[in-house]
Structure 1
Amino acid sequence: MTGFAVAGAVVQTALVVAGAPVLTGLMRQVRARLEGRAGAGVRQPWRDLRKLLRRKESLTPRGTGQVFRTTPVLLMATTLLVAFAAPFVTTASALPPVADLFAVVALLALGTVALALAALDTGTAFGGMGASREITVIALVEPTLLVAILALSARAGSTDLAAIVSSTVDDPARVGSPVSLLAAVALAIVAVAETGRLPVDNPATHLELTMVHEAMVLEYAGPDLALVELASSMRLTVFLGLLANLFVPWGIATSASLPALLVGVAAFAVKVGLLGVVLAAAEVFFAKLRLFRVPELLAGSFLLALLAVVASFVLPGGVS
């Protein structure tokens, strides 16, 4: 661990925390404009968080236990740890063991499982329904996430995310390879499913029978709800950041200098912002899939990830 690595980790964590609600607001604004509405503005998510933190009190449903109470903190902590360790702004990780593929996937899965358990802890019908659907999704999403990035790690010879990103920076031709293209499509579907976006879930729905993520957080209020909403926005930023830097890593700081770090910050903001705009624009043209169709979509993404792994070993120059 070096001073530059710690500084880079702090900068990218602050960037994810501060920029996540702005990204959510930007995506909502893009959707509103494309649908012919004025929209609430890019800063509206920050206004909502401030209102929840200052003017509302946390309410705990009767009969819930420590699982419900500690889940917002756990969800926030796991996301912060990934934002601190993963290569978003710089490839110099302050916590190399946490920047490993398996550690990152485990931390992201831990937050999702904790939220599902909290929904079950409420004992409500909608909470249980949302938790059941979320577990169905995560059971197909997490293997796909592992296999898709594993296809890239086979070429880099390491499961360390920083090493994978660095190998792509050193060999830009890999970006257009079949391995990268297959893995990118699989990971994009994973990001959509894991963050509750269309066509897997509708983040703007008000129909309880169609909710997945929102059904699990119906019982939260005040600061607890603020933590859950902020962590959800941060997870979206994290997934888009991984998608951007694993396949288009240009701009990320590979040297220990202040100009490189500033370029890395700007590149991360631009790439994640563009991905968010593309995702929001695409959602306008998609309808939510029926629930029994979602496993088919996720199974298809797993097949693409598996083909990427096979291609990484079969194609010439696939494994270093």
Structure 2
Amino acid sequence: MAVMSIFITRIALAVAVLFFAPLVLGLIKSLKAKLQNRRGPRLWQPYLDIIKLLKKDEVVSPTTCWVFRVAPFGYLALAFAAAALLPLPLPGQQETYPDIFDVFLLMYVLAAGRFILVLASLDAGSTFGGMGGSREMYVSVLVEPVLVLAFLTVAAPAGSTGLEAMARQAAQAPFSVPYVFAGFAFFILLLAETGRVPVDNPDTHLELTMIHEGMLLEYSGRRLGLIHLAAAVRQLIIILLFVIFFIPWQASWGGILPQVALKVVITAAALAVTETCTNKMRLFRLPGFIAISGLLSLLALVAQ
């Protein structure tokens, strides 16, 4: 019975993340437009875009195989699975989750989604797809080791890599010096993992700068809509990890979920401000930028 309860809770959480992910994406786009004195899209515009794409027919290159056709479904399924692993308590939830809900499992699931999309970009045989896929792997090689280091700043004092234990430990020492360092480090990784400026620009298809968008140029119609939805889900997952582990402070008013929603809005606003105040960075300057995150994570470990 307990296993069934945990399963239903996790599925409900994943469905909620899937539903609200486009709204967070629309919030970031809307805030960024307002900061740039533009009218910008409506908050629900990403929903309309995804629905429009899901209704359209597809044009598939004859050079592709089953990898290209299956990749969007696998990409979305893995994003959904990652959302189900989040240590976000729902109302009335009292269960203690098993050790399988581990931070390394979450990272592997997210990395597998990236790997599937890169394979699909190479399968199309286009120049831009291969370029986008190679750049995506270049960024992942830089980001993932530093991401492990950032998570260790929370796992070390918790004595466990279990997501629930890490969340409990973070809630016991909010805004201490190590968590401030680790929070800044993870925010840099948040920009890289979600493909935001200065690492990538999600609003352009300029061949000299695009990374994530370069992998999608051969997709259209339903499969492109699924990829956009999965990308929005992955973005919200990373934002929620930042909120849960590095902004764990709880106010006396309201419940847990309203406070988490408020923190997500604040983080989305911070992303919009960062994108407005910075420019796209040259690809070969990214190692130095990611190294700042690694240095801050090391300082956080030393300060504990």
Do they fold alike, i.e. is TM over 0.5?
yes
Match for residue 318 of structure 1? none
Say which SS state the counterpart of residue 29 (structure 1) adopts: helix
Identity of aligned residues (%): 39
- SS of the residue aligned with 2:42? coil
Q: Which amino acid aligns with 1:158?
A: S
Residues 1:13 and 1:250: Cα distance change in structure 2 (over 3 Å) = farther
Cα 1:76–1:123 change in 2 (3 A) is: same
Letter in structure 2 aligned against 1:215: G
Match for residue 77 of structure 2? Answer: 77
- Which whole-Å CA distance do the structure 2 matches of 1:94 and 1:47 have between them? 38
Change (3 A) 1:88 1:128: same
Read off the aligned partner of 2:202 and give its amino acid letter.
P
State the shift of 1:94 in Å: 8.5
> 1:93–1:294: structure 2 CA closer, same or farther, 3 Å change rule?
farther
1:138 counterpart residue number: 140
What is the number of equivalent residue pairs in this alignment?
300
Please provide the CA RMSD for this pair. Answer: 2.1
Q: Secondary structure at the match of 2:201?
A: coil
Q: Give TM-score, length-normalised by structure 1.
A: 0.88
Q: Is the 8 A contact 2:154 2:170 kept in 1?
A: no
- Residue ranges of structure 2 left out of the alignment (5+ in a row): none
| CA positional deviation for 1:156 | 0.5
SS at match of 1:53: helix
Deviation at 1:267, TM superposition (A): 2.3
CA distance in 2, matches of 1:135, 1:221: 23
Quote the residue 1:13 is aligned against. 14
User: Which blocks of at least 5 consecutive residues in structure 1 are unaligned?
Assistant: 253-259, 313-320
Deviation at 1:271, TM superposition (A): 1.3
8 A contact 2:200–2:280 mirrored in 1 = yes
Note closer, same or farther for the CA distance 1:96–1:231 as it changes in structure 2 (3 Å cut). Answer: farther
Per-residue deviation, 1:248: 2.1
Give the match for residue 109 of structure 1.
111
| Aligned counterparts of 2:223 and 2:242: Cα–Cα separation in 1 | 29
TM-score, structure 2 as length reference: 0.92
Report SS of the residue matched to 1:288.
coil
Partners of 1:156 and 1:164 within 8 A in 2: yes
**Corresponding residue number in structure 2 for 1:180:** 179
1:59 deviation in Å? 2.7
How far 1:175 moved relative to its partner? 2.2
Q: Deviations over 1:128-186 (max 9, x none)?
A: 111111111000111111111112111001100111111222x2xx2222321222122
For 2:65 and 2:97, the matched residues in 1 are separated by 33
The whole-number CA distance in structure 2 between the counterparts of 1:194 and 1:83 is 15
Cα distance in 2, alignment partners of residues 115 and 156 from structure 1: 34
Q: Distance between the aligned counterparts of 2:94 and 2:80, measured in 1?
A: 17
Q: Check the 8 A contact 1:244/1:271 in 2, yes or no.
A: yes
Q: In the alignment, what sits opposite 1:100?
A: 102
